[in-house]
């Protein structure tokens, strides 16, 4: 998943009819893999989903049989419905290349798709990369659809209404990652902090730039304010004197981690297995402090898929009191050394295109970040960056 698919970029760069055909085939066949968009003429405007009463069965490739299409209200998502965090750019390239009605409908449909997202009440999804991808899709449709398209005004208003709440959020918090999560799928639970994913956030900054360049002027100010945190991570000038007496500054080699501490929490581990959090506020005012609490939580993070034996063993080892304040958690010295070696392979996913977008403008901080990122990428690709976090880069 990225800004635009590689096959789109290759087709544009090569001017090759063959690659253009591949790109359009990927759009048409790839989008057709999701059996949630049926077309009909007459009653519904282009781009609208509908219920096919005549053909009530569809082929479920995962199970190898036909399934009946039924509406069942519930909290579980249909397995054939795409995750908004992984939705590609849908038909934008192919519609611009052909003007074909098929791709026009796909472009409109996938731009309308996030508006059904409950319970956000008209807001785009809160997950950072989901917000990036859906803002891209809605922006691109609002930009490219013809002026008389029945969805064009709605989609433009949809972008503007979302930019309004994002402007409030970035003014309030200094970033657009929200309050973060202590627990999230696929990652270990943290012990005294909430985190965001900065590589995902870099894609959101790119997406805001995409909106700004396609006529949504308010996105430019949000982009610039939101990018400030990423600049500060790369500059790494802020110091924090930790409870252990050491002074920490952010290591810019670790400027694009999967987890970045945003807030502190105090957690009460109760005998019945429940964990009760008390929010202690944001720490994004100091990147050294964010780095220190990254180390703290990485030193003690744990799997907790229920009150099982692994969790009980972790609890016996670490929790000497039921109430653990952030300053009560020490940093693992070996992990600190490993962390300081850098996790720089995140530089070339997310921040490569983010930094390139920001470097267009006469902003010396953006250009310095761009140079850092691309110097890193050049070293990695030449095999000179060695071995980081178990990944060896070779020529």
Return the CA Rg of the chain.
23
pLDDT class for 79, splitting at 50, 70, 90? low
Whole-structure pTM value? 0.84
Residue 133 backbone dihedrals phi, psi, to 5 degrees:
-70, -40
User: For the segment 244-275, what is each residue's pLDDT rounded down to a tens digit?
Assistant: 899 999 887 776 667 899 999 998 877 776 78
Between CA 297 and CA 275 the distance in angstroms is: 16
pLDDT over threshold 90, residue 208: yes
pLDDT grade, residue 87 (50/70/90)? confident
DSSP 274-330: -EEEEEEEE-TT-HHHHHHHHHHHHHH-B--SSS-HHHHHHHHHH-SSSEE-GGGSP
Which pLDDT value is given to residue 50? 45
pLDDT at 278: 93
Residue-wise pLDDT for 336-379, tens only, equals: 777 655 555 566 677 888 888 999 888 899 999 988 888 887 87
CA 197 to CA 252: how far, in whole Å? Answer: 15
Query: Region 25-51: what's the mean pLDDT?
Result: 62
Q: What is the DSSP string of 170-195?
A: HHHHSSSSTT-BSS-TTSPBPSSEEE
Q: Give residue 394's pLDDT band: very low, low, confident or very high (50, 70, 90).
A: very low
């Amino acid at each position: 998943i990225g800004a635009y698919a590689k096959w789109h970029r290759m087709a544009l760069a090569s001017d090759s009819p063959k690659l253009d055909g591949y790109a359009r085939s990927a759009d048409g066949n790839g989008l057709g893999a999701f059996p949630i968009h049926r077309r009909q003429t007459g009653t519904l405007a282009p781009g609208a989903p509908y219920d096919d009463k005549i053909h009530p069965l569809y082929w479920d490739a995962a199970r190898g049989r036909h399934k009946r299409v039924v509406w069942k209200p519930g909290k579980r998502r249909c397995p054939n419905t795409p995750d908004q965090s992984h939705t590609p750019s849908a038909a934008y390239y192919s519609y611009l290349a052909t003007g074909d009605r098929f791709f026009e409908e796909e472009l409109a449909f996938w731009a309308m798709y996030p508006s059904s997202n409950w319970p956000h009440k008209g807001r785009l999804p809160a997950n950072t990369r989901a917000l990036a991808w859906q803002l891209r899709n809605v922006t691109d449709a609002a930009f490219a659809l013809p002026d008389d398209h029945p969805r064009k005004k709605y989609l433009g208003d949809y972008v503007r209404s979302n930019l309004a709440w994002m402007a409030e959020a970035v003014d309030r918090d200094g970033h657009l990652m929200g309050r973060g999560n202590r627990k999230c799928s696929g990652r270990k639970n943290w012990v005294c902090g909430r985190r965001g994913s900065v590589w995902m956030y870099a894609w959101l900054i790119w997406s805001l730039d995409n909106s700004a360049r396609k006529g949504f002027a308010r996105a430019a100010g949000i982009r610039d304010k939101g990018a400030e945190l990423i600049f500060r991570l790369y500059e790494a000038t802020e110091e924090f004197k930790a409870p252990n007496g050491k002074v920490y500054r952010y290591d810019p080699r670790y400027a694009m981690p999967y987890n970045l501490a945003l807030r502190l929490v105090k957690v009460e581990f109760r005998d019945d297995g429940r964990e009760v959090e008390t929010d202690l506020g944001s720490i994004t005012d100091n990147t050294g402090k964010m780095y220190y609490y990254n180390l703290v939580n990485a030193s003690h993070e744990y799997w907790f898929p229920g009150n099982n034996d692994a969790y009980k063993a972790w609890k016996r080892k670490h929790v000497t009191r039921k109430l653990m304040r952030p300053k009560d958690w020490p940093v693992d010295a070996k992990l600190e050394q490993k962390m300081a070696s850098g996790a720089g392979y995140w530089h070339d996913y997310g921040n490569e295109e983010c930094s390139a977008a920001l470097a267009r403008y006469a902003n010396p901080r953006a250009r310095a970040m761009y140079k850092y990122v691309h110097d890193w990428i050049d070293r990695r690709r030449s095999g000179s960056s060695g071995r980081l976090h178990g990944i060896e880069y070779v020529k």
